[in-house]
Amino acid sequence: MPPLKLVLAAVLLAACTGCTLRQSSGTYRLSEINSQYFLLSPDAAASTLRIARKDENQKDCSIKGPWFSFYPAPGSKAQWIAETPSAAAWERSSGAVDMMEQWRNFEAALYGLRERHCFASLDEYLSAKQRIAASLSPPTGDTLYYRYGFGPGGYVDLAPGMQLRIERDFFGARSTDYQGTTITSYEISGNDESGTAIKFLGVEKRSAGSTTPVPTSSDAGLATQFATAPRLRLFLLNLVVSANAKAPAILIGASTKEDLNAPTQAIESDSAISCSRLQRWPVTCALFDGSVTVSPMLEVFVNGAPTYIPIGSRLWAVLPLSNAQQAKLMRTLRLHRRFQGKLVDVKFTPDSNTLSQLLLFGGDRISWSKN
């Protein structure tokens, strides 16, 4: 007989066969299904979602896919219907379906609806896309992909609330002659409709001995270089390219996210590509060569104090889990995450295994009792 929690999860997550309005549970929940962890969204109880619609035209504005569908609600001119896989269906497809590719195809099709003027405004298009992404209940290890594009492609779509940190080491004539480090920081501001903007925050210099490193002008000039590129995508440093080689980090920017698609494919197919070879597309490009690490940083709040962590950080990474503190901390640990403009609880079993499963999002609030 299967474990009780598995039976309950299967009942909760069974795919809905009709157009049922999703009822929000008001919480995220970490759930284990067949030894795989999923982060269930507050919308996880059904496979269909109703979204407000402002344009009442009768054009063909439907997407029908095997996993993701989107179409006007039958009998209503004021709603869209979005169909997405439940976590149980997601688990059953594991190993047979590339769900990230399915999502990319759906994103492209949704943009096609925008091109056909199926949405009343850019805001309606972006709101629908973000609402659908927020409703998904994917495996925990994939959650950052649907929020930030952070996945196997090795890139991150920079979003408001992030910081960009460029840490560059300097050496003398010999590779062992370390002279110091500069840390250049930027704030990513803006909003989903207008796009992002880069604001220069400053340069921190860390000297080794009497030598003070001189900041690289290209590192400090990104705000000017990308001033007219509101959609930004950072390709992270790849150390496993070929023997004794690496692909440096690359930042590209464009007017729309869709303008980034072709350059993205070019970078993914040729890890040694240069910015000059991307000039055939309307993108701005910066390549970070040398001994440099470029990190997107997410702002989270730990017991009310704002702090920045590298994207991909898990909950356990921000906790002081010494033996003396661990028992009380586990009893009082709380995680809150923004959903539909409100902070909601993230429910989980407070143990070391689940803490290592939960990836943090920008804006998360982590707290525990210190008394």
Q: Is 51 exposed, middle or buried (0-12, 13-18, 19+ CB in 10 A)?
A: middle
Tell whether the model's pLDDT for residue 112 goes beyond 90. yes
Range in 95-99, 220-224, 245-249 the model is least confident about: 245-249
Domain ranges for the chain: 4-148, 155-294, 312-367
**What's residue 15's pLDDT?**
35
Nearest in space to 198 (alpha carbons), one of 219, 220, 227, 168: 227
Tell whether the model's pLDDT for residue 11 goes beyond 60. no
164-189 pLDDT, tens per residue?
Answer: 999 999 988 887 889 999 999 999 99
Buried b (16+ CB within 10 A) or exposed e, 175-186: eeebbbbbbbbb
Parallel/antiparallel/unpaired status of strands 365-367 and 36-40: unpaired
**What's residue 25's pLDDT?**
61
- Where are the extended beta strands (E) located within 84-194? 155-157, 162-171, 178-191
Q: How confident is the model at residue 5 (pLDDT cuts 50, 70, 90)?
A: very low
**What's residue 100's pLDDT?**
93
**What's residue 324's pLDDT?**
66
Nearest in space to 284 (alpha carbons), one of 216, 229, 217: 229
251-291 pLDDT, tens per residue?
Answer: 999 999 889 999 999 998 887 889 999 999 999 999 999 89
- Given the structure tokens 């009942």, which residue do they identify? 11
**What's residue 50's pLDDT?**
92
Q: Are 45 and 84 in contact (CB under 8 A)?
A: no
Amino acid in position 153? G
Section 240-257 average pLDDT: 76
pTM score, whole prediction: 0.83
Q: How confident is the model at residue 346 (pLDDT cuts 50, 70, 90)?
A: very high
